[in-house]
Amino acid sequence: MAGRAKIALIGAGAIGSTLAHLTGLKELGDVVLFDVVPDMPKGKALDLMQSGSVEGFDSHMEGANDYSQIKDADVVIVTAGVPRKPGMSRDDLLAINAKIIRQVADGIKTYAPNAFVICITNPLDAMVQLLQQHSGLPANKVVGMAGVLDSARFRYFIAEKLKVSVEDVQALVMGGHGDTMVALPRYSTVSGINLPDMVKMGWLTQEELDALVKRTAVGGGEIVNYLKTGSAFYAPASSAISMAEAYLKDKRRLLPCAAYCTGEYGVQNTYVGVPVVIGKNGVEKIVELQLTAEEKAAFAKSVAAVKELVAATPKQANL
């Protein structure tokens, strides 16, 4: 990549605009904000650039309604889609967002085939799989954002419960981005002390720890219930930006992401949340943990839920 990085954001809604703002604040590169709504991304891009006058960043922000404007993007982050509305089934949402993701995949394939692509659109595990397959981009360059967010939620709940800084809390959540996600207390620590040890030390009870794990699995729903319309956007945007930054700066960060497994954890040819190393080649390694029998069973249940979603994704002929 010569000069500034070009970051294309497909979908200029709540998460898309927050991604653009964070990209400017962190000076990660120039932004193309794409949406199907006419002119709206242009208005957001102008507003964002004017915030740069105050914040002191000079990222160029451009609104787009034409895919040609994402040409040669280094990173593409996809939030295009519609949220579930009352009366709409999960299958209805799958059908609508699958159609959108196919259009997005065509746009990326045509104009930014060398990009590192991060999918956020729900249902996440099925949409990232479709995005990779339909675009034909290499699987190491297409990932789903969910694990960083789910782990961030778990980290926050742990910090709040133990009354310690979230800065010292690490946590790991694997599996699909749904109720079956697997939060792993054995791999979650406060400055190196794992949560089972914190229980032994009397900082919290096993029941309290179990409650934090459960709250994490429904963490998105808790926010939706308060917001009434729309879903979380600040933490999802921060999470995706950490993945984009790991790629652009070749940081080799170890982050949980929806990655394409080809035998790891016994999962064949399916995207699911696993710890990965992200560097200049995208997903450089899938990290295989030594899970206990109980953790393996929970992960297998989550993988089964993901496979069900993938199977329910309408094939092109049905659209």
Catalytic site includes residue 21: no
Q: Which stretch binds ligand A3D (CB under 6 A): 4-12, 181-189, 199-207, 246-254?
A: 4-12
Tokens 């339909």 -> residue? 134
The verdict on 12 binding ligand A3D (CB under 6 A) reads: yes
CB of residue 102 vs ligand A3D: minimum separation in angstroms?
Answer: 9
CB of residue 170 vs ligand A3D: minimum separation in angstroms?
Answer: 19
Q: Are 11 and 34 in contact (CB under 8 A)?
A: yes
Footprint on residues 36-65 left by ligand A3D (CB under 6 A): 36-37
Tokens 């309290």 -> residue? 208
The verdict on 9 binding ligand A3D (CB under 6 A) reads: no
What is the rounded distance in angstroms from the CA atom of residue 2 to the CA atom of residue 178?
39
User: Contact letters (x/-) for ligand A3D, 150-179, by CB under 6 A?
Assistant: ---------------------------x--
> In 10 A of CB 200, how many CB atoms?
11
Pull the structure tokens for residue 244. Answer: 């984009």
Mention every residue, 6+ apart, whose C-beta is less than 8 A from residue 133: none
Pull the structure tokens for residue 137. Answer: 């981009």
The residue count for binding ligand A3D (CB under 6 A) is: 30
CB of residue 138 vs ligand A3D: minimum separation in angstroms?
Answer: 21
5, 15, 48, 137: which one binds ligand A3D (CB under 6 A) = 15
The verdict on 149 binding ligand A3D (CB under 6 A) reads: yes
* Residue number, 36 or 297, with CB nearest to ligand A3D: 36
The verdict on 121 binding ligand A3D (CB under 6 A) reads: yes
What is the rounded distance in angstroms from the CA atom of residue 8 to the CA atom of residue 34?
7
Name the E strands within 11-167.
30-34, 61-64, 75-78, 116-119, 142-144
Mention every residue, 6+ apart, whose C-beta is less than 8 A from residue 264: 274, 286, 288
What is the rounded distance in angstroms from the CA atom of residue 17 to the CA atom of residue 33?
8
Q: Which stretch binds ligand A3D (CB under 6 A): 57-65, 73-81, 211-219, 249-257?
A: 73-81
- Which listed residue (21, 60, 134, 177) is catalytic? 177
What is the rounded distance in angstroms from the CA atom of residue 107 to the CA atom of residue 67?
6
What is the rounded distance in angstroms from the CA atom of residue 204 to the CA atom of residue 211?
11
* Residue number, 1 or 46, with CB nearest to ligand A3D: 46
Mention every residue, 6+ apart, whose C-beta is less than 8 A from residue 286: 259, 261, 264, 274, 275, 276
Footprint on residues 200-239 left by ligand A3D (CB under 6 A): 230-233, 236
Q: Which stretch binds ligand A3D (CB under 6 A): 74-82, 162-170, 199-207, 241-249?
A: 74-82
User: Contact letters (x/-) for ligand A3D, 127-146, by CB under 6 A?
Assistant: ------------------xx
The verdict on 33 binding ligand A3D (CB under 6 A) reads: no
Footprint on this chain of ligand A3D (rule: CB under 6 A): 10-16, 35-37, 79-81, 83, 100, 103-104, 120-122, 124, 145-146, 149, 177, 230-233, 236
Positions annotated as catalytic residues are: 177
